[in-house]
């Protein structure tokens, strides 16, 4: 029987977009391959274990070197002021160990943190790396840039692929990696959205709900979001309500700033995202940086007009004036004007919502994503065995 084993290694947060992507990736791989997931201790939870068992995937806590050894190596490299070498050293040791132990036909990586796991590209096995990083800094700004470029350049041609989730992320990577061979193996596979097919033709007559999803951290631009929300509330009073669902370091601060009975709500992490999307009328994402923005893609599926920033891959999901509006990252005035047009005009919300659903179906459906994954995974494994 031919080896059909796939080793999955991932950076992920169980409540964030990388966790959502990992669950979707495992759901895709499990019916097609014999899947083994190697995770680092501390990056796992009961629900992930239940999902893996339900899908028939095996898993083990050997995706790291162990807390003691990793701490020692990190301190050692920091003391030498060459901290980035730690990541390469760690990934190299972990990668070789996992290959020897599990002997996979194919390695699939879901990568979300800078250049982590890039040492796997020197493997003799086919590797497909799904990356959520933006790579906005030149690798030459890192002390170990020369080492990365040298070893990455030896990646076996035809059996490696780096897959970004937007053309913006792909372009940044190719510009900043300074490696023609690595640039040549990068392709774009946008994430797909949940199939939230809601009938909004009989919408309610209450307050217009503006929804935002995601961690309350600086790069999501929550302070500007708050300024926009306050101004919109001053303008429209109880005709509009703002909801930001998500956990994060700024949750307590922003809850306090909003105050009770303000019409600006921070419910924290909400597992039932379907209900949130169904109850919303507009989606709002003013991020300072986004590779793609999975919550925006889900909003398109839910037939929500979207007001987003011009950061990263967001303009690839939302065409200005069609599925919503694309605004200057730091312009409170532009966001407020776009939201005001939608709050005041139900027909506009509905027409842009229909366009959003069409965009989802044509660009961000599960079927389109799986077809592209079939193509990429099939190509790297065939090239290896030719």
Beta bridge partners of residue 306, listed in sequence order: 283, 324
pLDDT at 45 over 80: no
Confidence of residue 198 (pLDDT cuts 50, 70, 90): confident
Alpha helices by DSSP H, 143-291: 145-152, 167-176, 180-184, 222-236, 251-258, 273-279
Segment 243-295, tens digit of pLDDT: 999 999 999 999 999 988 789 999 999 989 999 999 999 999 999 999 999 99
Q: Is 92 a member of any domain?
A: yes
The structural domain count of the chain equals 2
Q: Are residues 89 and 186 in the same domain?
A: yes
- 86-90, 109-113, 251-255, 329-333: least confident range: 86-90
Asked if 127 and 121 count as a contact pair (C-beta separation under 8 A), the reply is yes
Backbone angles phi, psi at 288, to 5 degrees: -80, -25
Q: What is the CATH number of the domain that holds 115?
A: 3.40.50.2000
pLDDT at 158 over 90: no
Q: Rounded CA gap, 97 and 95, in Å?
A: 5
Q: Is 197 a member of any domain?
A: no
Half-sphere exposure of residue 156, counting CA atoms within 13 Å on the CB side? 14
Q: Are residues 222 and 298 in the same domain?
A: yes
| Closest of 321, 285, 289, 286 to residue 166, by C-alpha | 289
Q: Are residues 153 and 235 in the same domain?
A: no
**Which has the higher per-residue pLDDT, 123 or 340?**
340
| Closest of 342, 328, 236, 196 to residue 283, by C-alpha | 342
Residue 377 exposed, middle or buried by CB count within 10 Å (0-12, 13-18, 19+):
buried
Q: What is the mean pLDDT of residues 138-148?
A: 59
Q: Are residues 140 and 252 in the same domain?
A: no
User: pTM (2 decimals)?
Assistant: 0.88
* Chain centre distance of CA 98: 25
> For residue 13, what are the contacts with CB-CB under 8 A and spacing of at least 6?
19
Residue 268 is part of which domain span?
208-363
Q: Rounded CA gap, 24 and 194, in Å?
A: 10
Radius of gyration of the chain (CA): 22
- State the pLDDT at residue 1: 40
Q: Is 290 a member of any domain?
A: yes
- State the pLDDT at residue 138: 73
Q: Rounded CA gap, 30 and 198, in Å?
A: 29
Q: Is 348 a member of any domain?
A: yes
Q: Is 127 a member of any domain?
A: yes
Q: Are residues 183 and 49 in the same domain?
A: yes
- State the pLDDT at residue 2: 56
Q: Is 175 a member of any domain?
A: yes
Q: Rounded CA gap, 239 and 175, in Å?
A: 46
Q: Report which secondary-structure segment, H or E, holds 209.
A: strand 208-213
Q: What is the mean pLDDT of residues 30-39?
A: 94
Q: Is 198 a member of any domain?
A: no
Q: Are residues 128 and 146 in the same domain?
A: yes
pLDDT at 364 over 80: yes
* Chain centre distance of CA 379: 24
Q: Rounded CA gap, 41 and 168, in Å?
A: 33
Q: Are residues 59 and 154 in the same domain?
A: yes
Confidence of residue 182 (pLDDT cuts 50, 70, 90): confident
Quickly tell me which residue has 């990992």 as its tokens. 22
- 66-75, 100-109, 244-253, 276-285: least confident range: 66-75
Q: Rounded CA gap, 110 and 39, in Å?
A: 11
Asked if 115 and 134 count as a contact pair (C-beta separation under 8 A), the reply is no
Q: Are residues 370 and 309 in the same domain?
A: no
Q: Are residues 257 and 352 in the same domain?
A: yes
Q: Are residues 346 and 371 in the same domain?
A: no
Q: Is 202 a member of any domain?
A: no
Q: Are residues 222 and 340 in the same domain?
A: yes
Q: Are residues 369 and 358 in the same domain?
A: no
């Amino acid at each position: 029987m031919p080896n059909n084993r796939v080793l999955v290694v991932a950076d992920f947060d169980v409540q964030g977009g990388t966790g959502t992507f990992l669950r979707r990736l495992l759901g895709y791989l499990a019916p097609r391959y014999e899947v083994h997931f190697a995770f680092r201790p501390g990056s796992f939870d009961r629900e992930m274990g239940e999902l893996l068992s339900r899908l028939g995937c095996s898993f083990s806590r050997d995706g790291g070197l162990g807390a003691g050894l990793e701490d020692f190596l990190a301190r050692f490299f920091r003391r030498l002021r060459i901290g980035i070498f730690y990541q390469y050293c760690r990934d190299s040791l972990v990668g070789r160990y996992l290959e020897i132990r599990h002997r996979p036909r194919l390695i699939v990586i879901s990568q979300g943190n800078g250049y982590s796991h890039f040492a796997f590209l020197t493997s003799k096995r086919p590797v497909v790396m799904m990356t959520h990083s933006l790579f906005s800094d030149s690798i030459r700004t890192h002390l170990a840039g020369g080492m990365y470029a040298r070893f990455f350049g030896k990646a076996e041609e035809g059996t490696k692929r780096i897959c970004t989730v937007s053309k913006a992320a792909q372009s940044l990577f190719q510009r900043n990696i300074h490696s023609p061979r690595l640039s040549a193996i990068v392709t774009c596979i946008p994430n797909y959205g949940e199939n939230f097919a809601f009938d909004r033709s009989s919408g309610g007559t209450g307050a217009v709900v503006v929804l935002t999803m995601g961690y309350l951290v600086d790069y999501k631009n929550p302070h500007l979001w708050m300024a926009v929300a306050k101004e919109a509330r001053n303008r429209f009073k109880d005709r509009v309500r703002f909801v930001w669902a998500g956990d994060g370091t700024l949750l307590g601060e922003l809850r306090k700033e909003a105050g009770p009975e303000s019409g600006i709500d921070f419910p924290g992490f909400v597992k039932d995202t379907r209900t949130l999307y169904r109850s919303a009328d507009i989606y709002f994402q003013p991020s300072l940086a986004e590779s793609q923005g999975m919550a925006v893609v889900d909003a398109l599926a839910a037939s929500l007009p979207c007001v987003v920033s011009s950061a990263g891959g967001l303009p690839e999901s939302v065409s200005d004036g069609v599925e919503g509006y694309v605004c200057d990252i730091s312009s409170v005035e532009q966001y407020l004007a776009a939201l005001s047009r939608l709050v005041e005009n139900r027909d506009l919300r509905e027409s842009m919502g229909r366009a959003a659903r069409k965009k989802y179906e044509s660009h961000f459906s599960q079927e389109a994503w799986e077809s592209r994954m079939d193509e990429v995974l099939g190509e790297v494994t065939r090239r290896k065995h030719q």
